[in-house]
Amino acid sequence: MSSSLRLAFAGTPDFAASSLAALLASQHNVVCVYTQPDRPAGRGRKPTASAVKQLAEQHGIPVHQPERLKTSDTWQPLIDADIDVLVVAAYGLILPKAVLDIPRLGALNIHASLLPRWRGAAPIQRAIAAGDTESGVTIMQMDEGLDTGDMLLVRTTPITDQTTGGDLHDTLAVLGGEAIVEALDRLAEGRDRLPATPQPEEGVTYASKLSKAEAELDLRQNARTLAATVRAFAPWPVAWARLNDDVVRFWHAQAQDVDHDAAPGTLLNAPKGELHIACGTGVLCVTRLQLPGGKPLAVRDVMNSRADRFQPGFSFTLPEDDA
């Protein structure tokens, strides 16, 4: 087999575009791209091309944007392209078996977790919110299940108590690009150079899709859980709580395992650029927040001009108090 593989690529957001960029810089040949249809975006809600489409068009690669992949006419371009491998990264559409069977060497998925942990839609954020200390990417041979295929290559990265969803996304986007190129290089040398490992039955978890509704913090929870949620949900959907009439969004926080006798949600103090909030257990130490109509700012900068809104003894509203 030639050392250069003939590829199709299916992906949509920035995470996928990073992998496409790595493939375009590699020895392999991307001959066509699939991505989701242009969607309304921005204040004007104008139809906007995905990050993958924009990159593909910059390189003169044919782009296909079917709403679904249920009929043979939508995947005929893959048959016509005579490809060795279909590379998939955060595409957003289910691939039927008829599509998976088209490439000579099958379809490879770049999944942003250490499978079988965090199969599904939001593995990056769920890993941080759960308190995991490690994440990574798995290059997986796709089958008809939800992220159930054999593992071909795994690369890991640590999650610290500073890591946000945005940080981990960016790290895994780069790692995914490096890993898929390595996997394809080895596959081009021979199938035995990329052995497949079935996923273990133990340790399976699912990463459900994120929603805005789950971003409201219940400050009766443990401070460690809340701090992890704050970091996981930045930059989207961004964790929040209501203080008086304002929705305050939290962009970065850590936890302190200290005892207190204050009611959950009570503002304790604001030392050294932190906002200390009493939780059910421990204290949430917020270091970056956003006021309505403003930009995310360090708490130190907020306190220089708006300290009157964060006086000790003020209390954030708990979720059921909204009714």
User: Per the annotation, does 116 bind a ligand?
Assistant: yes
**Contacting residues for 170 by C-beta, under 8 A, at least 6 apart:** none
Contact of 205 with 215, CB cutoff 8 Å: no
DSSP label at residue 319: G
**Which phi and psi angles does 294 have, rounded to 5°?**
-110, 180
Helical H segments across the chain, by residue range: 14-24, 51-58, 72-81, 97-100, 123-129, 165-189, 223-232, 299-306
Residues 6+ apart with CB under 8 A from 148: 116, 119, 199
Check residue 258 and give left, alpha or beta (phi > 0: left; psi -120 to 50: alpha): beta
Q: Is 115 annotated as a binding residue?
A: yes
DSSP label of 200: P
What residues form the annotated binding site for (6S)-5,6,7,8-tetrahydrofolate?
113-116
Binding site, annotated residues: 113-116
